[in-house]
Amino acid sequence: MAAALSSQEEIDRQMSPSRWSPRFADPDQTIADHCSTLEKGSNQARAKLHCELNVPYRDGLTVDIVYPPSGKQKNKLMVYIHGGMWQFLSKALSLYPAQSFVDAGWTFAAVEYTLAPQANMDQIVQECTEAVTFVARRNPQCAVYVSGHSAGAHLAAMVMLSDWRAAGLNLKGCLLLSGLYDLEVVRQCYANAALQLTEQQVQQHSPTRRLEKESCSDACKTLKLHIVFAEHDPTAFRTQAQDFARAALAAGITATTIADVAGRDHFDVTEQLGQADYPPLQAFFADMERE
């Protein structure tokens, strides 16, 4: 488990990836550029691709689904969960990877969930699990994969650790980018003003702690798990990714792959999912084709 950080200032710095990007001197500019990039890619996907938008999966919450051209379907479904410290960003900014997946013959879906402080972590995790189940049942011919970035990677990992087989899901793999997998540091940082995490919720919703303290289901051991992080991620994010990978391997998820992406920061490590030649995406596709 990650070592404790030394001061409140350092905890907050570690939980502020915009302060670590070498591309911009101003953290606000880093975030503005990221949002602009996601918006541009998502708008292009909505304009060019076969989209089914704002499909309700529970009261007030929806998913967007993007389909490959007829005759090119591979019966694979990727469900993507956005980041934003569980309190920012949106489904509207989450279709930027769709082109790469559709070009590969995959169906792609983006999830909406209630943001903190309007929802706590219990509700957010439950909503994301319901959303993945809903999209999977809507596409019963597809093997299911989950992905997410930052807070979304945490939520995708929680879906992975849910009782998905009992829900009838044919879950096959996960692609997790620059995530947080132990929430204790989140409970201690500025973000907890909105999240109000308790010690009990940290234990319940920390994927690394779950794998270290609970037996991993036989179903979970069959998954292919790709854990990606960036050279210029905060040290705490890099450490958590490596700790989660070790916990997954120790728990019996033997098809666990870890990638440290050189030259990337917390934001462009996921923005590049819109590029079909992005090495972590190519590695993921190649691994999923070997099933």
Given a cut of 50, is residue 1 above it in pLDDT? no
Percent of the chain with pLDDT over 70: 98
Tokens of 265: 């920061």
Task: Give the active site residues.
Answer: 150, 233, 266
Q: Which of 65-69, 153-157, 210-214 has the lowest mean pLDDT?
A: 210-214
Residue 207 sits at the vertex; the CA angle it makes with 196 and 127, to the nearest 5 degrees, is 60
At residue 71 the predicted structure's pLDDT band, cuts being 50, 70 and 90, is confident
Lowest mean pLDDT among 11-15, 156-160, 216-220: 216-220
* pLDDT value for 100: 98
Residue 6: pLDDT band (50, 70, 90) is: confident
Residue 4 reports pLDDT greater than 80: no
Model confidence pLDDT, tens digit, residues 175-233 = 999 999 999 999 999 999 999 999 999 999 999 999 999 878 899 999 999 999 999 99
The residue count for the chain = 291
Amino acid at 150: S
Q: What is the pLDDT of residue 45?
A: 98
Residue 3: pLDDT above 60?
Answer: no
Give whole-number Cα distances, 106 to 69, 98, 101, 152, 222, in Å: 10, 9, 5, 20, 21
Whole-model pTM above 0.95?
A: yes
- Is the pLDDT score of 234 beyond 60? yes
Q: Residue 291: is its pLDDT beyond 50?
A: yes
Lowest mean pLDDT segment, chosen from 130-134, 271-275, 280-284, 287-291 = 287-291
Q: What is the rounded average pLDDT of the residues 94-101?
A: 98
Average pLDDT value for the chain: 96
Taking residues 47-76, what's their average pLDDT? 96
